[in-house]
Structure 1
Amino acid sequence: MGNLKKYISFLLVLLLLSNVTSVSAAEPIQEIRDLIKEYYIEDVPASVLAKPTAKEITEHLDPYSVYMTAQEFDRFTNGIEQQLVGVGIVLDEDPKGVKIISVIQGGPADRAGLNAGDIIIAANGTSLAGQSVQHAISIITGAANTTVTLQYISVDTNEKVTKALKRELIRIPNVEYQMLGGDIGYIRLHSFSQEATEDITNAIGKLPGAQGWIFDLRNNGGGYVSTAQEVAGLFPNVTNAFQLRYKTERPEVYAALPQKVKFTIPTHILINEYSASASEMVAVSVKEQKGATLYGQTSFGKGSMQSLFTLSDSSTLKLTTARFFSPRGIPVHEVGVTPNIETAVGEELIVSHRDQLLAKHSTYQKLPALKDVPVTKTFTVAMNMQMDWSKLNAQDVQLIQLGGKEVPVDVKIADDYKMTITPKANLQSKGKYLLMIHPKWTSKSSKQMQNGIYLEVSVK
């Protein structure tokens, strides 16, 4: 089993739309049988190994074990590295066809209005019911600037919809980052690619002054094992990355790879039901070692690792060779990782950002929330004593969109007791905000405000 470690390259749960099929011509079938017998995570019946083609053998294994020609493997790795020709969707199997796990922003599917949760039941007139993701991908993908017609069941209406999409080369930024309102650094990772750790550390360096961090792994289907070890090393207190259990070996714990740049406390990780594989590997280990707080929903539950075997004809066998666990042995496979703080779907970032802001101002008094305010709302703040407004500083009032930026406001004095706060632009419909007034003012009798105040705002 020691020779297997040189093959450990990555673990990927959800196939990006790259053209992965199986062809029987000149397959090194005996090599494939030997590798499966020696390394596959479970014993395989002789009747399966005796089948004449790689596809017939691997379709009796788990969904993540696949045979690929050299060309197919190139396209497959391009998917991990976030560049591909297709319509811009990530897929998983479903009894009715293939389910869209996520839609790549700005891609053909996004522009056409497809959504995560839609189930594609046919492509170019071919039914996908009962078919593998690989088979679906072979039909949906194709050359750039060609068209594919998809029939799908809408997650919103449960009705069948048919749309024609033009395939195109899609280059996906793997890391997104921005400074959220209140100096909270936000970084989103889409894939555990080879350059992911460098991209993350660069993003951290471009957000100086962050007083908290949100690391977003929602809809992240995984990537390279070595990258998961590196990313685990970005978190405070995290010394171990994961535990692997092979077919015949005892559990082995792999160390996190320390990074020169790290997230600082407090840090949150966002996960959802489509966070899988390497995402779960990082999430479960960081949660166990208290390097961050997890927000969201229980993750996908793909705790298996695939190894890559290059065959004599330059084709590749991707084979499940191990299960992974947290360093202390918490299982992930078919279980998933549960968050510390469970949120409603789509509310992960909003709740995390809110908690980050309130943790910085834990002594502030909460005022009654304002619900369903108009997008043109002007806020009136009334004090219970006459105020010395001459010391009013605009920075003492903050209106922050949760999950977004601080909103510029005009602050005006109404009288000795009241002031008005007017956003300089309309609020976002359905948006959520936090209005904070910091304790830096005095009354006319020179009495200092002891604690700040805040209220939560939701918009119609």
Structure 2
Amino acid sequence: MTEGDDEMRLKRVLVLLCVILIVFSSGVMYANGEKTQTKDLNYLKQIIEYIKANYAGEITEEELIEGAIEGVFNKLDKYSDYYSPEEFKEFNTSVSGNFGGVGIQITEKDGYITVITPIDGTPGARSGIKPGDKIVSVDDIDIKGVSVNRAVSLIRGEPGTQVKLGIMREGIDNIIYFNITRELIKINPITYKIMDNGLGYIKISQFNSNTYENLKDILKIFDEKNVEKLIIDLRNNPGGYLDEVIDVLQFFVPKGPIVHIKKADGTIETYNSNLELPKYKLAVLVNSGSASASEIFAGAIQDSKVGTIIGTTTYGKGTVQSVVSLVDGGGMKITIAEYLTPNMRKVNEVGIKPDIIVENTTEPKVDLSKIPTLDKTRKPTVGVVGLDVLGAEMILETLGYEVNKPDGIFDEATFEAIKKFQKDQGLYSYGVLDFTTQDALTRAINEYAKPDNVDKQLQKAVEVLLEK
């Protein structure tokens, strides 16, 4: 190939690039010399056709269309989404709380899909599957090393169909097999108890399609035992169905508005309670993980003044989505409205601020990285200088022992503080920073630094209800 050929080829490439830039960047097309409509569906079709004809990699038209659809949703708000058929099936299961399966909770442990527990009353429990069982096959498919999601997809299926599980059980040499008929499993998102102080405690993890029915049964139990002061725990509840939370609030909110739905056209639809007289005194626990339907609940309780909201400000997801099934089995979720509290307060990007703000401590009380390590390379005593001495002084001061300002110098104050610490720990009290004392100091500061495991939010809820 000559130099002239190279130059000619380069000119052709530049011309082609210019054409592509004109067509795809400006969106202007010409037909028979006349300017036509820009960036419509025909424009998108031409892009797809061009990619199919020229793309050097492997791509199908279906994949390109799928990508184009996903691109549309990327331009919408973060709560609108498109789901492939497989994703839509999983989405519906997670939100509804209902699926065809055997009713076992599983996890991955040491490379095996391991049973956490069978759910009471389900085929898995009735068949004799036990906590700790390792599932090694599903319908004779080896699943050792697969993900939990993959195992779940194999075990679940249409109610009435059978699944064969191969189980390894401790104490039994051979694999044992269970042929189990799947049933419709309904996940109960509520746990409850009557506390020692006589208060009722209800934890709602999600407003799925089973929330109302399960709550109704729990409240019957409480009514029989005359439990009228309730703690409703909505912490880390991501939300769920609008209809479900509205039905649940009928138990608590007096006659009047529960929530207002402001639609895209500006019209407002109000959902009301028909309850004549509330019977329960409530404390509702929320945090930054409480979102959507949980915020509808908290806002309605707060505005109607039938309970006290305790915790930290909620997530701030104040929009309503409509879920639409598509002909190919996929689906889409579109934001169609914004909801407002009974007093017309905005929630989206704002959240519900509790009546009483209480933080649960999750951070260590002490930054251990700032304390020099006691590495047991020597046994310091009076007059010695070093980082190990500084570390010991910092620990002793944090634990409440009197030392001069920590400076790394082993002085008389440090000597006396170590003697007192040794005595308190039941060690030989002689003031030398020996290896045993260094170990004891390290253990003591590690224990001290642990965050409080006390649920201060729950404590405050108990305090508020008992005061009332």
Which protein, 1 or 2, shows the higher relative CO under an 8 Å CA cutoff with sep ≥ 6? 1
What TM-score results when the alignment is normalised by the length of structure 1? 0.48
Write 1 or 2 for the structure with the bigger share of helix.
2
Higher-Rg structure is: 2
- Pick the structure with more strand per residue: 1
